[in-house]
């Protein structure tokens, strides 16, 4: 019932010979063919030989080359197979996208327009017809912008499979360590812009306008080529012609009271979708997409963060939720999330990104703080902390390890 042929360097020719055995077998339930140096044609042959199989439950094909032809064959198998419940095709070089034939030739220095290729299209179509798959591992494949097509197909499957799409040359938050696409409905987040690229400068404009409106309070940890600066409180910032701009943006506008919050049914459906996704970035991407359409109540925001398991997921979730929690619930909800979902040692990291005044942990005042005294909100937070110390002398409060730097 089980056959492990991993790490045997079978290669493309060997895969074609193996196909006949696989096609004729009627008892095998678990097959491991990982790390065998299959060619795309060899991988395609394996998938094709399994089209009529009615017994196999688990197939491991990781670390074999699949390319475009192997990805198409995989999609065809998923569309007709009724027994496979677990499939691992991690690190198989599945080609995700191809240059768009309708796009004009790219100008010098610009990137071509890409669209989902035959492999990602076939996989998505196969998933849309599949009702049995429970686990699919696709990480470390260059699927690029084909990821959303496959992800959406997975989320619509009646079997609600767990899946992983991490490290697939697709960053839902943008390029590099920060995103460079601005969601106008919820712009809070970490950004990274290449100021030598005209497209990046154009995307930066809404945040520049909001920075002027907010007198620089909504820009935090600003740097160009790792050299810190402060967004001016008065007037515009003279944007350099080149360099890598990196900063955290905090949207300070409250949710309009006329904007309807998410229904409990929609929130429950969102949590169910998030639970299906294995990757942290995928979970946060789903949350951000939902928040662009509707804000959450305090209870919904709390249960969303509380339901996540990893500290990194909870941090990104709180950052994403910060400006999309109903105004009447926001202050108490943030305090509840801090106290319940984060250790006191994690709070300074949140304060670094969102500002001390916005995430001041009033239940656990002892701890590390960093105040950017050129930001009015940080100065006010420092005064608040001083007042708390003065009003509670019986607690024997004191400052330790105080450092001031330019």
Nearest-angstrom CA–CA distance, 135 and 250: 37
Q: Which two tokens stand for residue 251?
A: 């949207």
Q: What is the pLDDT of residues 212-254, one digit of tens each?
A: 999 999 999 999 999 999 999 998 899 999 999 999 999 999 9
Nearest-angstrom CA–CA distance, 185 and 321: 12
**Nearest partner of 206 among 178, 183, 231, judged by Cα:** 183
Nearest-angstrom CA–CA distance, 154 and 136: 9
Nearest-angstrom CA–CA distance, 360 and 369: 10
Structure confidence at residue 177 (pLDDT): 47
Whether 137 and 88 have beta carbons less than 8 Å apart is answered as yes
Structure confidence at residue 176 (pLDDT): 40
Nearest-angstrom CA–CA distance, 400 and 406: 19
The string over 83-110, giving b where at least 16 C-beta atoms fall within 10 Å of a residue's C-beta and e elsewhere, is ebbbbbbbbbbbbbbbeeeeeeeeeeee
Instruction: Give pTM, 2 decimals.
Output: 0.68
**3-class DSSP state of 129:** helix
Whether 34 and 82 have beta carbons less than 8 Å apart is answered as no
Nearest-angstrom CA–CA distance, 17 and 14: 5
Structure confidence at residue 174 (pLDDT): 44
State phi, psi for 229 to the nearest 5 degrees.
Answer: -150, 175
Strands (E), 202-249: 219-224, 227-228, 244-249
Can you list the residues of the chain whose pLDDT is less than 70? 102-113, 171-178, 395-397, 406
168 Cβ contact partners less than 8 Å away, ≥ 6 residues apart = 96, 138, 139, 140, 141, 142, 143, 144, 147
Structure confidence at residue 180 (pLDDT): 72
Q: Which two tokens stand for residue 228?
A: 């810190």
Structure confidence at residue 105 (pLDDT): 58
């Amino acid at each position: 019932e089980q056959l492990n042929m991993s790490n045997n360097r079978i290669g493309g020719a060997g895969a074609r010979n193996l196909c006949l055995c696989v096609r004729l077998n009627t008892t095998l339930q678990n097959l491991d063919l990982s790390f065998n140096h299959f060619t795309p044609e060899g991988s395609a042959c394996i998938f094709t030989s399994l089209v009529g199989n009615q017994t196999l439950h688990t197939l491991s094909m990781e670390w074999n080359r699949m390319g475009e032809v192997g990805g198409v064959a995989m999609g065809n198998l998923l569309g007709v197979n009724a027994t496979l419940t677990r499939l691992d095709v991690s690190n198989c070089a599945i080609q995700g996208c191809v240059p768009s034939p309708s796009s004009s030739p790219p100008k010098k220095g610009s990137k071509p327009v890409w669209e989902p290729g035959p492999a990602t299209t076939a996989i998505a179509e196969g998933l849309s017809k599949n009702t049995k798959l429970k686990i699919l591992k696709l990480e470390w494949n260059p699927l690029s912008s084909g990821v959303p097509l496959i992800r959406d197909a997975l989320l619509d499957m009646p079997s609600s499979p767990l899946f992983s799409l991490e490290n697939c040359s697709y960053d839902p938050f943008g390029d590099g360590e920060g995103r460079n696409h601005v969601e106008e409905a919820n712009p809070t987040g970490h950004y990274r812009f290449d100021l030598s690229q005209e497209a990046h400068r154009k995307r930066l404009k809404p945040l520049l306008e909001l920075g002027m409106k907010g007198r620089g309070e909504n820009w935090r940890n600003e740097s160009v080529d790792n050299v810190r600066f402060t967004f001016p409180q008065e007037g515009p910032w003279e944007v350099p012609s080149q360099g890598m701009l990196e900063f955290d943006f905090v949207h300070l506008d409250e949710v309009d009271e006329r904007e309807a919050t998410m229904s409990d049914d929609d929130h429950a459906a969102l949590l169910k979708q998030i639970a299906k996704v294995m990757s942290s970035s995928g979970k946060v991407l789903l949350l951000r997409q939902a928040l662009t359409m509707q804000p959450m109540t305090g209870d919904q925001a709390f249960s969303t963060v509380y339901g996540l398991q990893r500290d990194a997921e909870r941090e990104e979730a709180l950052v994403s939720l910060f400006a999309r929690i109903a105004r009447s619930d926001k202050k108490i909800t943030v305090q509840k999330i801090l106290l319940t979902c984060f250790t006191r040692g994690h709070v300074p990291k949140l304060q670094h990104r969102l500002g001390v005044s916005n995430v001041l942990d009033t239940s656990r005042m002892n701890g590390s703080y960093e105040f950017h005294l050129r930001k009015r909100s940080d100065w006010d937070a420092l005064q608040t902390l001083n007042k708390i110390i003065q009003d509670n002398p019986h607690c024997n409060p004191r400052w330790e390890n105080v450092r001031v730097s330019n």
